[in-house]
Structure 1
């Protein structure tokens, strides 16, 4: 599959998780909405022969309130893993909270690191 096709497949898989809207690229809005999610290419590594394996970072915008953000993670992280792995778009290696720019402020997001299988 092409990187563009992978991006679309990841976005479609993310949209199957409750309260998540998958996008192929970061939404071009002034402010992100809770549950907006998109992939970023991580690395391309040479595999056997001439094949390449991609790793991806998937960002999911969390609620702006710290407590609600923690509760959102508690109740949604497994759904995100199931959606991504169930759609056969890759294997989830790691999930961690990060901050991302959002308009003139920052907000928390989940960063999911995954690799193609």
Structure 2
């Protein structure tokens, strides 16, 4: 989970930029932010994006940039919580898988390894 802040934003931004033929990263960030507008579907994804991008991508739900500045280590905790929550909600799971497929896969592998 510690890799999310370092690798995720550039990968998602580049994919989005190429898929939608957008010229610059600022425009990509605005478009991703606009896409994350449905509280039911996107609140968890929006929250994680805000944390990993330092507020450059903010959708329908967020803590505010000051929260992340004060507690940068919370990104992994928030991601863990939202990925756990998504295990019980097919709508949120689908969005998590769409935006964070590798992180979600890693999370699920980690959860399976927890002793029963």
TM bucket normalised to smaller: 0.3 to 0.5
Determine which structure has the larger helix proportion and give its number. Answer: 2
TM-score (normalizing by structure 2): 0.32
Determine which structure has the larger strand proportion and give its number. Answer: 1
